Structure formats: structure tokens, C-alpha cells
Amino acid sequence: MFITNPIRYRVLSWFLVLLASAGGINAQAAQGISQYGKPKYLDGFSHFDYVNPNAPRGGTLTLPNPGQRTSFDKFNPFTLRGVSAPGIELMFESLAEGSADEVSSIYGLLAEDIQVAADHLSATFRIRPEAKFSDGSPVLAADVKHSFDVLMSGKAHPRYKTTFADVKQAVVLSAREVRFDFKNSNTELPIMVGTLPIFSRNWGKAADGSMIPFEKMAFEAPIGSGPYLIESFKAGKSIVFKRNPQYWVDQLSKPLNVRVGFYNFDRVLYKLYSDDAVRLEAFKAGEFDALVEYRAKIWAKGYVGSKFENGLLLKKAFINHNGAGMQGFAMNLRRPIFQDPRVREALGYALDFEWLNRQIFFDQYGRINSYFTNSDLSANYDGPRKPTPAELKLLLPLKAKYPQWVPDAVFGPMPPAPSTVPPSSLRKNLKKARDLLAQAGWQYRDGALRNMQGEPFRFEMVEDGPFFLRVISAYIRNLEKLGVQVDIRTSDFALHQKRMNDYDFDMTTIRFADSQNPGNELWDRFGSQAAKEKGSDNVIGVQSPVVDALVNEVTKAQNRDELRAATRSLDRVLWNSYYVIPQWYNPTHRVAYRKEMRYPEPPLYYSAEPWIMQNWWKEEAP
């Protein structure tokens, strides 16, 4: 099972621009910029290499609910409360567009050119005169400033203030020019502000001219510049997007290179189903066109039948080059029971990945052994080894200043996740766990694992829905052998999201979003300040001066070598602090689709669901 739960998807997709290479940004205005070095595509390029520029346009793309959401109660995706409608991102665009076959570049979308100051302390964007919002009004610099100011206010989700904390201000220079000023020289900041979602100042204006407070907007139709409009919806059940007949890109005299081969359907329909089993049966019955499968057993056993045999339905596993990041059982450090690292390490020995992979996952998964798995940014990328001189340069001063925050194990080879591959075994692992728990003051007596006060070791496992129960049950059986008592609590998506926002949990499954070039989003994920703000991505509650210092090193890296040293050092500290019990990752994207669906060669780095929506097309029957 490879979780892509929007609850943990704290940094919106337009922030996770794929970044790469080595060098610096110059001050010359251009359509494209790169965080390190030069962008792959030169000014005047015709289209991205990974799209089909001749893809036919038309028809309806019908999709099921992405992730675990089974309903929605708002159209505003930028606020903390509620669950936004699937596909709502189709209505918003940004100043620039990321490329999916490189990891550090953006190219002008709403902006016709981008200029980064030589000192990297500001970036200026000139907006295309043709750019229009869905209500026909022009996209102006004042709208860009308004979008930034609102997202940074207390009215929007608190993650924005954390992610964009190093952006000082947005300044309107003229009707179509806006400059972002930065608090420090950070090569990622021009990329980040370029991918900020832009919306109209008139979004939320009532008939009488008054403005509905941003945080209270629910089903007020967004006014963005994206290719689609909301045609209809059934609250919580379905939503239909139709192509905007006045979409500004389609009114240009020549095709816009960053949109060639994108959004080939006239309509996009999302149907929300109550659970995975219902969704699969609906697919077999022909109710929608494609879906991405995250459950190994269903992929192995469920995608069978006459329609697969006669070729009406197809399934394919596409190679996954994305950094896998981290997925695992996260412990809430705000709970006293998890504050001792020996306890956290011990609980990891009770997870038998090899048994799960063999008995439940049909050997489809690889083990996560890093916070940057499947990436050269991982400290385990080239095998277990001691820190390099570049890593030691970062780690040794931190050890001297904060000795209690840098585990000694950081300076040895990265230890792998616990394994039961011989000569190891579950029995040996549980013995190691028992010894660690005893060192932390927990002993088995009177039928339970107890501390010196006689209190039992007991916690609650919180999950959004029942589909993960078989895995959890296997893990809990092993914990029970240690005397640990676990209560399982499942809930629907909305309630689970609220509990996560309020950090009202003991242990839960987390899935940090993939990023090929991590940066400022790490402040929201691991930063001490984020741990104190409701709704942040720091659900674990990490508050470490060493982690803060290493995240700072990541964000100020000037080239790929510096980035590797910083991420690998951060990886060593996080991994050896045992904040998460690592699970597994899928080396493929598993996609099932109707035979009429067509796709180009996939890019290097992509998420399967957006790729289907953005770059696929349908070949209608003759």
C-alpha cells in the first residue's frame, strides 16, 4: 500500500516544482530560469519533450475521487477548514510552470518573462497582456500581490506563512510588473514565488459589492485563470469542469509552449465513491476512464475479468523515478509516551516488512531506508557509509553545540530499517525492542508493559478508513508480544483531517509528498515553529535546533553538491532520531485505463493522477 493521502499533502502541487543541475540564476530576463545552472529549454522552445503536441482535443475525461476523500464541502483549496473539491486546481494558474523532465526549472506561464536580481534578493515577473481570469478581467500585478498577501495572512492555511516565510513582500511596479523581495539569498525562492497560485481580487465579491471573508468562502466559484470552469456539481458527490471557451491561452495568436499538449479534454468529471471496492467495481462497469491504484492486493487480484481479457480495460505499471520520500507510522512527539528515542526505536523493531511484503503486498514494494528514498539526496543512496567530509563539515559543529540533539549513530553508516531476512528474525528484533524499552524504564509485569509508576504502555492508532487495517493488525500483534496495548480508531476523511490539523492523535500513517529538490517546504514539515501551528505538515512535532539548522542549509544551498550534503546530513539526523517507523514505497505507478485512452511517453518525474489529467487524450471510436 502506497499512501497518497491529501491530509498529509501539506504543500500544494504547484509548490513542488521539480528542481535540479548546478550553478546559479543570472539577472537577464527570460522565459525560463533554473535554481542551479541553466534551464533545459531555451527561449522560443515549441513544447516540452514529454507531451504530444498533436494530441487531439475533445471528449470527457471521467475520473474517480483521488486519494481517500469521499466528499467535499468547499471550492476554496487554500483554507484550513473543510475538504476541497477534487480537480479544483484546474481553475488556477501561476506565473510560471515547472518542467517534469528536469528538477530545477520553471518557465513563464502567466508571466512572459522572469528576471532574478544578481544578488538573488528579488525576482520580477512581467505578466502577459493576454492573460485573463475566467470572468474576462485581465490578470494584473495587483492580483498577484493580492494572492500573495491573502495566502500569507491568517485567513489562509498556515502552511503558506511557513513555506513563504523568507519572502519579504510582493511589490507592484506597474500594471503588469510585480517584484517579490526576499529576506535572504535563497536560490529556491524565485522558483517558489513563480509557482504561487494566482486568483482574482474579485473572488468572493457579493452581489452588493461587499467581500466575503476569504476564510469563510465555501462554494463561491473561484475566479482564476485556469483552462476550466465549474459546469455543475452535486455537493460532496461529483463535480464537472468544462473548458473555458474564452480561456486566454486559446486566444493567443500562436500556441503557448508551456501549454502545448496539456489539458486535452473538453470536460473533466470527478465521481466520488464511498470506498475502494465500490470504486473498482465502478471502473469495471465503465463508469470512468482511468484510475491509479495504491493497494497492492487489489492490483494483483482485483484487476481481472472479461474486460481485461478482451482488452477493453488495460493495466500498466510505469517506472517511478520520483524521490519516494517518507511513508511510515508517525509518532506524535507531543505525547509523553513517545519522547524517549529508545522507545521510538524499539517500536520500529515490531514491524515485519518482509512478512507484509510477502503475505499482503505480493512482493511489489521496496523498503524505505531514508527520508529521501529513491533519490541521490539520500544518505543511503550509494549504500551504507559514513558521512563525507562535506557532511561532517555540517554535522560536527552541530554536535559540539547541541550534543543531545545529534545522535552518535549519525557519524556511522546509515543503519537500515529493521529486517527479518536471515540471520535476522522477528524473534531477534523483538528481543532488541524489549531491551531498548527496559533501558527506557518499561518492564513487562502484571500482563502489560509498564513504567515505574505502573502505568501501561498504551496508545491509539488513528487511520482514515478501514483499508489499512490488515497491515495495522499484523503490526499490533507483534507489539502485543512486547506487552504494548494499541487501540485502533478509524474515521472518515473529514474527521481524520480535523484530527491531524489539531494534532489529536498518538500514532498515524503519514506520507510526505515527493520532491526532487526539497527546500522551503521542509520548514513546514520539520521546522520547530511549524510544530506549534495547527494544520502544519509537522504532524510529528519535531522541535530540534539541529533539524532547523540543517533545513536552513538545504534552503540556502547554491548548487547540487551543497544540496546533497545538506539533505544527507538532515537525513542522518532524522533517521537516527526514530521519529517515524518507515514503511515501503512503490517503484512503479500502477495505472488502469480504458482502451480508448492514449498517453505520451511519461516524463522522468510526475504524479500519475495529474499526468493523466494534464497530458492524456482519448481516441474516439470510429
Statement to judge: residues 572 and 595 lie in one domain: no
- According to the model, what pLDDT value does residue 542 have? 98
**How many folded domains does the chain comprise?**
2
| CATH code, domain with 387 | 3.10.105.10
Q: Answer yes or no: are the C-beta atoms of 95 and 85 closer than 8 Å.
A: no
**What stretches in the chain show pLDDT beneath 50?**
1-27, 622
Statement to judge: residues 597 and 486 lie in one domain: no
Main-chain phi, psi angles of 487, to 5 degrees: -105, 130
Q: Grid coordinates in use for 582?
A: 518507515
pLDDT in tens, 413-462: 999 999 999 999 999 999 999 999 999 999 999 999 999 999 999 999 99
Cis peptide, bond prior to residue 423, ω within 30 of zero? yes
Find, among 360, 396, 433, the residue nearest to 584 by Cα.
360
Q: How many CB atoms lie within 10 A of CB 466?
A: 12
Residue 295 inside a domain? The answer is no
Q: How far apart are CA 315 and CA 595, in angstroms?
A: 10
Statement to judge: residues 242 and 381 lie in one domain: no
| CATH code, domain with 113 | 3.40.190.10
Statement to judge: residues 128 and 272 lie in one domain: yes
DSSP track, 296-364: HHHHHHTS-SHHHHTTSEEEEEEE--S--B-EEEEE-TTSGGG-SHHHHHHHHTT--HHHHHHHTSTT-
Statement to judge: residues 389 and 374 lie in one domain: yes
Residue 375 inside a domain? The answer is yes
Residue 305 inside a domain? The answer is no
- According to the model, what pLDDT value does residue 16 have? 37
What per-residue string of b and e applies to 530-565 under the rule 16 or more CB within 10 Å gives b? bbeeebbbbbbbbbbebbbbbbbbbbbbbebebbbb
- E strands along 559-612, which residues? 580-582, 584-585, 588-594, 597-598
Q: How far apart are CA 94 and CA 14, in angstroms?
A: 8
Statement to judge: residues 603 and 491 lie in one domain: no
- According to the model, what pLDDT value does residue 28 have? 55
pTM for the complete prediction?
0.84
Statement to judge: residues 169 and 201 lie in one domain: yes
Residue 45 inside a domain? The answer is yes
Q: How far apart are CA 377 and CA 139, in angstroms?
A: 38
Torsion sign (Cα): 291, 297, 302, 304? positive
Q: How far apart are CA 503 and CA 339, in angstroms?
A: 15
- According to the model, what pLDDT value does residue 4 have? 35
Q: The domain containing residue 212 runs over which residues?
A: 6-283+588-618
Q: How far apart are CA 598 and CA 615, in angstroms?
A: 9
Statement to judge: residues 595 and 459 lie in one domain: no
Q: How far apart are CA 79 and CA 33, in angstroms?
A: 30
Residue 322 inside a domain? The answer is no
- According to the model, what pLDDT value does residue 22 have? 31
Residue 300 inside a domain? The answer is no
pLDDT in tens, 546-576: 999 999 999 999 888 999 999 999 999 999 9
Torsion sign (Cα): 432, 438, 440, 443? positive
Q: How far apart are CA 93 and CA 110, in angstroms?
A: 7
Q: Could you give the angle at which helices 389-401 and 545-555 cross, rounded to 10 degrees?
A: 140
Statement to judge: residues 214 and 344 lie in one domain: no
Residue 568 inside a domain? The answer is yes
Q: How far apart are the first and last CA of the chain?
A: 39
Residue 309 inside a domain? The answer is no
Q: How far apart are CA 164 and CA 361, in angstroms?
A: 39
Q: Coil, strand, or helix at residue 521?
A: helix
Statement to judge: residues 483 and 495 lie in one domain: yes
Statement to judge: residues 528 and 601 lie in one domain: no
Statement to judge: residues 265 and 403 lie in one domain: no
Q: How far apart are CA 78 and CA 607, in angstroms?
A: 21
